[in-house]
Amino acid sequence: MDISVVIPTHNRAHTLPRALDSVLGQAVPPAEIIVVNDGSTDTTAGLLAERYPQVRCLSMGNQGVSAARNAGIRAARGEWIALLDSDDAWKPEKLAQQMRLIRDHSGHRLCHTGEIWIRRGVRVNPMKKHAKRGGHIFRDCLPLCVISPSSALLRRDLLDDIGLFDEDLPACEDYDLWLRVCAREPVLFVDAPLTVKYGGHEDQLSRRHWGMDRFRITALEKVLASGQLGEDDRAAAAATLVEKARILACGALKRGKTERAAFYRELGARYATSAASRA
């Protein structure tokens, strides 16, 4: 199994070494490591040249995480793509355990792992809604993103089939991708905390955008229009969209945004018939 690791980064020279060192410390090393420098203005370029000459570096103007990931995926030579955000890290056995599970379950094209969450230097316990598992998890993916990009190992032909990250989404691009994957096939899960996610910093996308559910609604509309869903999954997706639209409409009303509230009420009503079939 040839694995290409793709790490997008933008002005994270302070966390990138932790991510890279965790990849270089893998018990089973990848075939290549690609860092996509997404228009960084800090010391990222110099850091990579001086400390990590073995890493392939792609440089681009600042286009966002989806475009950076996609550029790395297109440039990758491996049969498998492992994603890692530049503020996260892996435990040394991460790739080895995923490769072992994939070999034991041939035919699966996505494998993710359990996680450790660190917020402002303190380990925190994920809530029940963030629980991870394998199998047919499409309905688990509907409320929120349940696969972390940093934990994902994907076979290249899966991305050839479903497409890459949606560069038109400012956030929740991972939610969109996992919906498209899980609408089609089951996934594997290594039930061990092998991915370390660091949060609480100011440059996280969830801190930059209000109403993240508006991007999830766009992703839900896409998968509902794809023709990939069976009747029950379609009804579940429509019900989720209706609920998210209701919440956004209520929030807009509280803030005096009447036009925005009307938009989401109308959007929810449009999908309410499909959602009702679930009952």
pLDDT in tens, 239-248: 999 999 999 9
pTM to 2 decimal places = 0.93
> Would you state the pLDDT for residue 120?
87
> Would you state the pLDDT for residue 209?
59
Q: Hey, what's the torsion of the CAs at 89, 92, 94, 100, to 10 degrees?
A: 170
> Would you state the pLDDT for residue 125?
87
pLDDT in tens, 216-254: 999 999 999 999 999 999 999 999 999 999 999 999 999
Q: What confidence category does residue 130 fall into, taking pLDDT thresholds of 50, 70 and 90? A: confident
Q: For residue 201, is pLDDT > 90?
A: no
Distances (CA, A) of 124 to 113, 120, 127, 150, 199: 17, 10, 9, 18, 10
Q: For residue 92, is pLDDT > 80?
A: yes
d(CA 46, CA 49): 5
Coil, strand or helix: which one is 75? helix
d(CA 143, CA 61): 33
d(CA 278, CA 180): 20
Q: Which amino acid is at 72?
A: G
Q: For residue 121, is pLDDT > 90?
A: no
> Would you state the pLDDT for residue 16?
98
pLDDT in tens, 147-200: 999 999 999 999 999 999 999 999 999 999 999 999 999 999 999 999 999 987
Check: CB of residue 167 under 8 Å from CB of residue 64: yes
Cα atoms in the Cβ-side hemisphere of radius 13 Å centred on 80: 21
Give the end-to-end CA distance of the chain in Å, rounded to a whole number: 45
pLDDT in tens, 20-58: 999 999 999 999 999 999 999 999 999 999 999 999 999
> Would you state the pLDDT for residue 276?
63
> Would you state the pLDDT for residue 260?
96
